[in-house]
Amino acid sequence: MRFQLAIAVALLLFPAISLSADIDGEDVYLASDSVSIQMFGSGETVSNLVGRVRFLDRERKLFARAARAIWREDAAHLRLLGRAEIYRDQNWISGPVAEIDLDAERMTLPSGAFVVQGHQTIQADRAVFRIGLEEESNDVITFRGEVTVIDSALYMDTDSLDVFPERDEAVARGSVLLDLYNQNYRVRGSKALFDSSRVTVTGDPVLEELDSLREVAGRITGDTIWIYPNEDRVEASGRSLSDYRGLKTSAARTDFSADKRRVILQGAPELQHEGETMRGDVIEVYFAEEEDRIERVVLIGNGELLSEKIDSIAEERSTARGDSIVLHFTNGDLTRTEVIGNASSERSWEDEGTRETTEATGDTIRFAIEKSALKRVDVLGNAVGSNTDAAIDATPEELEASRVEYTGRNMTYEVDRNRLSLIGSAHVQRQDTSLDANHIRYDLDRAVMTAIGGPKLIDAGEEVDGERMIYQVDLGQGTIYKGVTAYENGICRGERILRVGEKTLLLQDGMYTSCDLDHPHYFFGAKEMKIYLDDKTIVRPIVLHIADVPVFALPFYMFPIKGGRSSGFILPQVEFGFSESRGRFIRNGGYYWAINDYMDMTVRGDWFQNSSWTGYLDGRYKIRYMLNGSLRTSYRSDEGRRRWSVNASHNQELREDLDLTARANFVSDETYRVEESTTLQELDRTLKSDITLKKRWQSRSFTLDASRTERLDNGSIDETLPSIRYTQNQSEIFTPPEEVEDRSWYHDIYYRYSSRLLNSRESDQVVASIDTLFETVNDTLTEVAGFDTTRTTLRNDHFGWNHDFGFTYSSKELGWLGVSTRLNWKETWYDKDKVGQKWVRRGQGNASVSANTNVYGTWFPRLGPLEGARHIITPNVSYTIRPKNPHHFINTLDDDGDPILNSDGTFRQEDRFFSFGGFGSSQSRSRSLSFGLSNKLQTKYRVGEEQKRNDQLILVRNSIGYDFERDEEQWSDLQSSLRFEPIRVLSSEVGLTHDVYSWRNERLSISTNLSLQGEWGRSAPREESESEEGADPDDFEESAADPDASSSSFDESGDDIYRGTGARGRGQQRTSSSLIPWTLRLGHSFSRGAPGSTSTQWLNTSAGIGLSKNWDLDYENRYDLVNSEIVSQSFRIRRDLHCWEASIRGRYSGQEWEYYFNIRIKAHREVYYERGNRSLGSF
């Protein structure tokens, strides 16, 4: 609205006047002692009010007064000057200046603002109020510049303060200082949020707890601190730190209870107290009721307790972990600690150059502490621990040597006595020595273990049992009462067993047997037995008892007990036969030396009655994934004649992609191998030596080798020095994309390449007549002086370099036709050819294209168990062409040098190039077309609830070819085959070959095989003893030391490897079972060639059955159906006699029977009785 001029004149005439006007529809009242009105050309009206200015806005419930005021009517703006006072909503507001903007609904105190509301006073450099007609939730009162808030409960200094009256909230920012009188807290931060229930302080907040003298008693920091005035409670979050009543804490969240007797730390909390560091998911700290002393600390979830004490003499560190940890304090001192759930503890201390470490785990661990010193540790439930005591600078080997491990149901460690007690299933382990008993007490200072309750001592794999045991750990000595020790398959018993050394036992009134019965079938008895563990046993005197009957005695005996390979003398094979050339002889006597885990050696010899002898030296070595090799040598002295042979091999992996192999075979003369042959390999009349270095890449390889081959029968020698080969495996020419749909046709083009450079030298020993030699050497009959007229050496040296290229392209045309195209080119360079030309080349190639597809037909008859059938028809066709280069061939000449003619008048030709070392002959022209067709029938059927399938019920194949280069009968024979396999154990196959021109059957073959196996009886299948299982391939295989022992699989040649008497044979026995396995195999075969040829027909039978759990029978038979006669048959009957084993073998061949009978102790195969032909022992 606008004031009229008349009203302005009246105001000037009467200085004490009140104005009442309607401004924007709002009733306001403005009065003063005097007023002056100014009107400007722009239409603006400004009123200056002086003396007792009063302003009232009834709608806003706002009353103000001041000494002076300026009223701008158009802007609805009132400026109060000279100590303005405003009253609104029970708030008293004052300041030197106040501005009220009715249009903007804002009131501003630009300086010296002072607000009183009830008991609360706020001072600020500047304040802004919203004075809207309606109160809104976002209404805010802002205070800026050195804001101070004072009431009966708190005092606050801050840089700014925003108050939201409707939300009952306030926000302080800047340098905030908050002092809570009632709670004795002082808080600092950069921001504080006040609501109806709490104060939230952020921005590096710090909370200080004040004592009665207002001194700082504790301090808490964090990302956020919450204060609950009504609950007298404080929380801290983020990485909160506190120094509270002597406790230094760190946590993501800290809660202080109302009575201040409990502190809760959450979020990776950590607490430090008198050198102890505590961690857990949650930490609860309890204080005594009347004192500030700590009473209990509870670590909940992943509890961890760390302690460290370091002084000038010793250092001690300990760690305890568990699901929860409880620490108990008395008068502020720690007296007991309990680690509950998955408990573990580690304690180490260093003193005078030594370090001792103790570790323990269990369900619960309890620590008893007295005067800050650990006194006792109790581990309850599944106790496991270890102790290490060594020099601080000890090597890892020395640390491991001092390490003692122990387990038990419960465990107690007494610190002052340094004594460990294990109760219930107790076990102590130190290096390769272990002790098991019901109760073990271990005095660590004296290194003495006392065990009761079925103690069992195991040292270096050897076991000793007894009733009671005292053992000196550091000396490796002790005494076992009523002891029993076992090794391999042997058992020793003694009234007293004394351990007198690290690996030495002394038995008094002892006995040895491999029979595990309480009343053994046999045993060796002795007054004294000395056992060197993992080596040998010495007894004196020794008496062999069979069924308690003494049958044999010796004053002294020694036998090895070492597991696996062991050094020892080889039992000789003595034969009292007679040889016409050598007389009586003893063979295979010698010594086997197991040098270490990676190497062994055998020295043996044969002695003959005619004063001749042969010595053998065999050695082997093997380190898995690195190298292996062998050496076999022999030396023979026979009536002054000295002969020898050497056979060696070496294989080494120089790197993961680089290998080196070498072989060497040498012999003194060509007849030595024949006379000394004992195996098929030695009957091979060829000596081969070579060395090869091979480098591999992902799809390439490079090989460099040199070799020498000598044929003893004709004296010829072939040498390659060197042979260099490079091979590029089939690879894509164009790198295919990662996504299949992005592939193009050219991504299916592949190439391959190989190259070989060879330098070959061949020498042949030839025998010729005098005339031939003269004619060959000289055209005249003049004798050549010094020429061997019976044998001469012809040498042929060749050099060649071969390159072989190949390209392949495969595609799927029309979505169903597979097409493959191949191009090959071979280029060979020679140093010479047969006509004498130097450095010549030969190039030849071939090409082929093939196509195939699959046609499927399915049928789901649902007939009985048959659920479905599928018929697959696969036709294929291929065409191959190979051109001929006429320059690769020359005419064949007769002895006169004239060309030889063929029957058709053409010249007979031969290859122009030499063929040597794998460099093949030249190709003749070839063009051929081949066809093939296969039919396969597959079925799917159900047996009970299980669905099965037969992928090859019937398979029929047919193939035929057409040769374009032949003048007649260009079609090849038709090859046909039929395979029928109705069930897994039965199969039959028929093969046919037909001449398509005469339709005559050229070949017919039929074979049928039936293989059955199963078990009969009740209960579980029998199992072989553990000792019969295969050994680690990194170890040398075991074989029996007796003469007919089977060969070791370590020796790839299959020759016998002679062992010491300590080598063991098969396991003692099969475990008892009432399920007996059986096998039956029947095979029938028939073959016939072209009409008029002889046919053959055989019936092969093989059967094996366990007659009982101890009896086995195997039988084989081959029957000639054409001649109606048995060609060969054999059987084996084996009887398991628990710790003994007996077998009889028979073989029928050559119209006569042979047999062999043997009975022996399983664990001591050198103790046996035999009759018959020993060579039958391995058939």
3-state DSSP helix/strand/coil % of the chain, to nearest 5: 5, 65, 30
Sequence-distant (6+) residues with CB within 8 A of 858 are: 868, 869, 870, 871
Lookup: tokens for 496: 């007293």
Count the neighbouring beta carbons within 10 Å of the beta carbon of residue 72.
14
CATH for 429-559 is 2.60.450.10
Mean pLDDT by groups of 10 residues along the chain of 1179 residues: 33 39 57 86 84 86 89 86 86 90 87 87 90 73 90 87 86 89 82 88 84 74 82 74 69 72 82 84 82 82 86 78 90 88 88 84 91 87 88 84 88 88 89 86 85 82 80 78 72 78 76 83 82 74 82 70 62 45 64 83 79 84 89 82 86 89 83 52 66 90 90 77 91 85 86 91 62 41 44 75 92 89 91 86 90 92 87 95 82 79 78 79 84 94 87 93 88 93 91 90 92 74 38 34 34 33 35 71 91 88 87 91 88 89 86 84 74 66
Cα 580–chain centre separation: 62
Q: Give CA separation, 1150 vs 1099, 1126, 1131, 1154, in Å.
A: 18, 10, 16, 10
CA atoms within 13 A on the CB side of 313: 0
Lookup: tokens for 663: 């072989």
DSSP string, 100-131: EETTTTEEEE-SSEEEEETTEEEEESEEEEE-
**Is residue 1032 exposed (0-12), middle (13-18) or buried (19+ Cβ within 10 Å)?**
exposed
Residue whose C-alpha is closest to residue 919's, from 928, 911, 929: 911
Enclosing H/E stretch for 5 = helix 5-13
Distance (Å, whole) CA 64 – CA 80: 8
Sequence-distant (6+) residues with CB within 8 A of 391 are: 353, 354, 355, 398
pLDDT at 1079: 92
| Whether the bond into 722 is cis, omega within 30 of 0 | yes
Left, alpha or beta for 146 (phi > 0: left; psi -120 to 50: alpha)?
A: left
* 804 and 826 Cβ atoms separated by less than 8 Å: yes
pTM across the whole model: 0.49
Distance (Å, whole) CA 262 – CA 265: 10
pLDDT at 1044: 35
| Whether the bond into 541 is cis, omega within 30 of 0 | yes
Residue 682 DSSP one-character state: H
DSSP string, 1071-1133: PP-SEEEEEEEEEEEEEE-STTSPPEEEEEEEEEEESSSSEEEEEEEEEETTTTEEEEEEEEE
Distance (Å, whole) CA 324 – CA 410: 19
Distance (Å, whole) CA 982 – CA 1138: 43
Distance (Å, whole) CA 418 – CA 214: 51
- Helix (DSSP H) and strand (DSSP E) numbers for the chain: 5, 76
Residue 919 DSSP one-character state: B
Considering the four listed CATH numbers 2.60.40.2550, 3.40.190.10, 2.60.450.10, 3.30.300.30, the one that applies to the domain covering 1-134 is 2.60.450.10
Count the neighbouring beta carbons within 10 Å of the beta carbon of residue 598.
16
pLDDT at 588: 67
* 757 and 715 Cβ atoms separated by less than 8 Å: no
Enclosing H/E stretch for 1005 = strand 1000-1017
Sequence-distant (6+) residues with CB within 8 A of 521 are: 513, 515, 546, 547, 1137, 1138, 1139, 1140
Distance (Å, whole) CA 85 – CA 79: 12
Q: Give CA separation, 854 vs 446, 811, 872, 955, 1038, in Å.
A: 83, 15, 6, 14, 53
Residue with tokens 């295989």: 1037
Residue whose C-alpha is closest to residue 592's, from 1038, 1085, 59: 1038
Q: Give CA separation, 796 vs 608, 720, 790, 837, 1093, in Å.
A: 44, 12, 20, 16, 44
Distance (Å, whole) CA 1005 – CA 1085: 7
Residue with tokens 């950590």: 270
Sequence-distant (6+) residues with CB within 8 A of 368 are: 335, 336, 374, 375, 376, 377, 378
Sequence-distant (6+) residues with CB within 8 A of 817 are: 851, 852, 853
| Collapsed DSSP state (helix, strand, coil) of residue 598 | coil
Residue whose C-alpha is closest to residue 1177's, from 1137, 1147, 1140: 1147
Lookup: tokens for 1012: 């059955």
DSSP string, 733-789: SSPPPSSGGG--GGGGEEEEEEEEEEEEEEEEEE---HHHHHHHH-SS-PPPTT--S
Residue 431 dihedral angles phi and psi, to the nearest 5°: 55, -125
Sequence-distant (6+) residues with CB within 8 A of 742 are: none
